[in-house]
Every structure is written in C-alpha cells, then in structure tokens.
C-alpha cells in the first residue's frame, strides 16, 4: 500500500483528531521544511504555518499538497508524524491494518 494511499485513508482521523494540535503540526511542517527542503519550500512552510487559517484547513491543505507531490513526500510526513507525535502515529487507522 503506497504512502499516498495510506495518507488518504488517515486524513479524516488526522484532521478530526484534536490530539494533533498547533505545536505538533508546526513541528511537522518545520521538520519537512528544514530537514527536507525539497519536500516543503520556505514559502510552502510559511503558507501551512499561517495562523490566520484554521489548523484543520492548514492540515488538510498540507496533506493534499503532499499527496500531489507523490509517495516519498507522504512517507516523510509519516516519518515527521512518528517523531513528533508517536502515540498518535501508532493510533493511525492505516497502522491498524498493517
């Protein structure tokens, strides 16, 4: 199962789960930007960190953006999620299937 497909499966859980708070999403975005600038450019990171938009909208937009970019981008999102929110990562619906 591709990471893009897994992310599609997990999107509802991630966006509706209040455990994924502002700080965690910020850390994920910064990790994708700083560790893998080819995955999230500075401009993209700024857009997804904009506090004027709701967290839910920013997270949904980030997930859609990564899915358009391809499997490796989605895989790095999962890696960042695992590092910054391991318990939430372990509770993902796609993890239960695996």
Structural domain count of the chain: 1
Could you list the residue range(s) of the whole structural domain that residue 33 is in? 3-95
| Integer Cα distance of 38 and 96 in angstroms | 30
pLDDT in tens, 39-70: 999 999 999 999 999 999 999 999 999 999 99
CATH code for the domain of 44: 1.10.533.10
- Hey, how many other C-beta atoms are within 10 angstroms of the C-beta on 52? 5
Q: Would the pLDDT of 13 be above 90?
A: yes
Q: What is the pTM of this model?
A: 0.92
Tokens 């949904």, residue? Answer: 60
């Amino acid at each position: 199962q591709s990471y893009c497909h897994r992310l599609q499966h997990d999107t509802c859980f991630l966006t509706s789960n209040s455990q994924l708070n502002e700080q965690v999403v910020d850390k994920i975005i910064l990790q994708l930007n700083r560790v893998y600038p080819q995955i999230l450019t500075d401009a993209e990171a700024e857009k997804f960190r904009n506090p004027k938009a709701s967290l839910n909208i920013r997270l949904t937009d980030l997930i859609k953006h990564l899915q358009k970019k391809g499997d490796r981008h989605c895989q790095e999102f999962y890696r960042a999620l695992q590092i910054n929110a391991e318990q939430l990562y372990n509770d993902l619906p796609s993890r239960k299937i695996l």
